[in-house]
Amino acid sequence: MSLKYQVVPVTSFSQNCSIVWCDETMEGIVVDPGGDVQQLAAIIEELGVKVVNLVLTHGHLDHVGGTVPLAEILKVSIVGPHKADNFWLQGLENQSQMFGFPLCKAFEPNTWLEEGDKVTFGNQVIDVFHTPGHTPGHVVLFSEQARLAFVGDVLFNGAIGRTDFPQGDFNTLIDSIKTKLWPLGNDVTFVPGHGPESTFGRERASNPFVADEMPIY
């Protein structure tokens, strides 16, 4: 029994949408379907994955822009993020105009996620952590069995998420990373919302924003 995943960069922002599945049952989820819906649908069909839910880490357009049309194509529910990001989802039309994206209408998920929730598909169980800072309702998805996390825009290879958006907060983001992510273990590989994968241990050693020993300039 193992967890499989394929990262598909979508939108002009090269957002890392992830198709994640149980290799025993081929049931799976799609994390952050931000756009390029027909491409995603074709890849899902090619992989033979039976998607049971679309799961959102936070409410920014490049992460959620393709959610409603993909949910309609696959006939599945939308899960997440935390309800504190509802204002982002209700402002999607404005986000579309601001960034020159195709028009994306406001929506609400079928289910909001909270700290301690579990997302299940096939024989896989994914733990949910509420990680505010980049947005107030951001969540991270973690597979203990695979030692793998999908962290959205909380943490990147060598960087952290922006905190200059409405209701973003730098100190809250740093606290989320250090109190929610680091305890999961240095060996955990993470898929960020943009850019290449890394491990928590690598970021603790070298990330200029959250390394254990901050450099002195």
pLDDT over threshold 90, residue 216: no
Average pLDDT of the residues of the chain? 97
Per-residue pLDDT of 90-111, as tens digits, reads 999 999 998 888 899 999 999 9
Per-residue pLDDT of 174-184, as tens digits, reads 999 999 999 99
Looking at residue 214, the DSSP 8-state letter turns out to be P
Cβ atoms 32, 193 nearer than 8 A:
yes
Residue 214: per-residue pLDDT = 62
> Which sequence spans correspond to the domains of the chain?
3-206
Residue 52: per-residue pLDDT = 99
The values of phi and psi at residue 183, to 5°, are -65, -15
Phi-psi region of 161 (alpha: psi -120 to 50; beta: other; left: phi over 0): beta
Per-residue confidence band for 217, with pLDDT thresholds at 50, 70 and 90: very low
Q: Tell me which fold the domain 3-206 belongs to.
A: Metallo-beta-lactamase; Chain A (3.60.15)
Cβ atoms 18, 197 nearer than 8 A:
no
Residue 205 CB partners (closer than 8 Å, separation 6+): 211, 212
pLDDT over threshold 90, residue 200: yes
Q: Which two tokens stand for residue 119?
A: 């997302």
| Segment 11-31 mean pLDDT | 98
